[in-house]
Structure 1
Amino acid sequence: MTDPVDPVGAAGMARAGVPLIVVDGANVVGSVPDGWWRDRRGAAERLRDRLVPFALSGAGGLAGPVELVLVVEGAARGVASVPGVRVEDAPGSGDDRIVEVAATAGERPCLVVTADRGLRRRVEELGARVTGPRAVLS
């Protein structure tokens, strides 16, 4: 049976070599001073919705379709996934969850969207590429 949130299926995407894009929700939301701090969950939902087109088109030099994962933490946890964007709650550190998700890429291309230098180093050690928030905010 096809999952309406993940119609291709993450396992099928991984086997097919579909690129993985992991978005640091807190970092990307925080890069735009639009009052996000008053409604962190709502800001994460708006970002999720802005990401949907990238699941088909790709971003940061990766052509679509891609598996797109938005990692959220803190008050933004509990945001639902939508077709094209799987939302992962970080039970603790968002950075730790992003590293875990990036590690699942295996041999397929992986791009992490963040401006966090410490996170950048951690995922690059796994072989992932990194781009800044503008890649998904333009």
Structure 2
Amino acid sequence: MCMRALLIVDAANVVGSVPDGWWRDRRGATERLRERLVAYAAAGLPGPVADPPLPGPLEVVLVVEGAARGVASVPGVRVVAADGSGDDRIVALVAQREPGRRCAVVTADRELRERVRARGAQVLGPRAVRPA
């Protein structure tokens, strides 16, 4: 049996990618993102959103920090609160995955993109999970 691919989402970066008032209610914006991610956990991410596609089901991990700490996990999406830097927590999750397990990280942060690519992760932009 194949391992489910791992999709790690940089909550702060993805939430901040759309000017929808998130700065007034970061926790609420993060909860709305978490709810959208549930569908991806079951269905995966098709091409051309992900190249190559990430077929479902996926293990989805939403990494939160700051004002979004305290957002709870829901079926299909595990929420991980970073003790310090969200970027450092994401890199650690990528590094700790099982050998050979496919992993994609959703972020627009250039430095984080390079850090996770160096550890073998695929990188997707925020639009992969927040269509325009």
Q: TM-score, structure 1 length as denominator?
A: 0.87
Structure 1 counterpart of 2:19: 33
1:117 counterpart = 2:103: no
Distance in 1 between residues matched to 2:2 and 2:28, nearest whole Å:
33
Moved over 3 A (4+): none
Q: How does 1:1-138 map to 2 (within 5 A)?
A: 16-59=2-45, 60=50, 61-105=53-97, 106-138=99-131
Amino-acid identity (%):
67
Superposed CA offset, 1:22-63 (max 9, x none):
000000000000010001111110100011000011122100
Q: Which runs of 5+ in 2 are unaligned?
A: none
Shift of 1:104: 2.4
CA RMSD in angstroms, aligned pairs only: 1.1
Q: Which runs of 5+ in 1 are unaligned?
A: 1-14
Q: TM-score, structure 2 length as denominator?
A: 0.91
Shift of 1:17: 1.4
Aligned residues: 124
Partner SS, residue 18 of structure 2: coil
Superposed CA offset, 1:49-90 (max 9, x none):
011000011122100001000000000001000000000001
Distance in 1 between residues matched to 2:85 and 2:2, nearest whole Å:
30
Larger proportion of helix: 1
